[in-house]
Copies of this chain bind each other. A is one copy, B any other.
Amino acid sequence: MPSFTGDEYRTRIARTRQRMAEAGLDLLIVSDPANMNYLTGYDGWSFYTPQCVVVPGTGDDPLVIVRGMDRNGGLRTSFLPAARILGYPDHYVQARDLHPFDWIADELRRHGYGRGRVGTEQDAYYFSPAARAALERGLPEAAFVDANLLVNWVRAVKSEAELSYMEQAARIVEATMAAAYDAIAPGVRQCDAVAAIAAAQIRGTPEYGGDYAAFVPLIPTGIGTSTPHLTWTDAPFVSGEPTILELAGCRHRYHCPMARTLYLGRPPAKLRQTEAVVREGLQAALDAAMPGTTAEGVEAVWRRVAARGGVSKESRIGYSVGLNYPPDWGEHTISLRPGDTTILEPNMTLHLILGIWLDDWGLEISECFRVTDTGAQPFCDFPRGLHVKD
């Protein structure tokens, strides 16, 4: 049931322990569900209750700690032996005077993990200030250290097995974008188009079934394209308006996202002009991405093309991507923007996304790519241009 071999998980744990040693950590408490999955295979929609993977610096296998009813899910999906999968009693869930991390702290003490330098993910989804406070109360002899993104950085360079899931996700998003182009037409309710899109994402291909993506389909339309994260309504699509499509294929929690823009009717000149600049800048940035380049260096190439074309964009133009859970398929490590001096390495994977949001319209075009030994290779093979349905 785990998506990778035991050897691959053990390699990931070893790389994590190396970073723990560099940070002087005796114990790491991982709450980000993507990091939990990465280290153990654990997979389930159970992150709405507190849970974690605990990595001792040396010796013992990690522990997976979840709500009692989810322990069987841990047995089914993680590569670890049953003794390393613990479930806490249900009366700790959403209780007034108890927190699941009270139980977890007790259990850590019982395992002899109650002392030393303990890292927690201070800015991870699903790790709350209350969880952190419970750990501090329950482990008074521990010294807490911020280990945010420690595992995320281990994830930045992908293995061949991970890349093959992203390739499969690319086939899924190509089919999904084609389904979106088919579904959107004047008079069609937005919800009906998204129904077709979501079905295509989850159906996948005959060879590869689709997993749920970490974002729902984002399809702002009309004036909604002035901002990227509105979701659909049941209003109909209207002729003479653009629609942005930001979608992903997902396979075993690995994403390949893609953004495109569709226009119903004849696109106005300003949209065509912006499209031309964005396409030129996207290609120039892709051409610049290669091992040894910095993240900010890739962005600078876009920025020059954009300035020449009269387009300005305050926000970053891309980020590392791969394994994740809602609410984000980004990995929170690399950002393509000024000041990010991360040096690109082979098998890093990024989503280069050029989103332009003006007062009453917008446009997005993107490519998800892998850094190769000599350059950058997009995962998808799908026309980039504005898709016009006249």
Contact = CB atoms under 8 A, between A and B. Distances in A.
Contact of A326 (B189, B319, B327): B327
B133 A128 contact: no
Contact of A209 (B124, B190, B202): B190
A115 interface: no
Interface string A224-250: 101111111110000000000000000
A215 interface: yes
Counting chain A residues whose Cβ lies within 8 A of the other chain, the interface size class is 35 or more
A199 interface: yes
Interface string A329-365: 0101001011100000000000000010101000000
A84 interface: no
Contacts of A373: none
A93 B89 CA distance: 37
Contact of A69 (B93, B200, B228): B228
Residue with the highest number of chain B CB atoms closer than 10 Å, among A73, A131, A332: A73
A47 B126 CA distance: 12
Contacts of A231: 43-45, 211-212
B128 A227 contact: no
Contacts of A359: 72
Interface of A: 43-48, 68-73, 76-77, 89-91, 93-95, 99, 120, 122-133, 146, 148, 189-192, 194-196, 198-204, 208-212, 215-216, 218, 223-224, 226-234, 314-316, 319, 326-328, 330, 332, 335, 337-339, 355, 357, 359
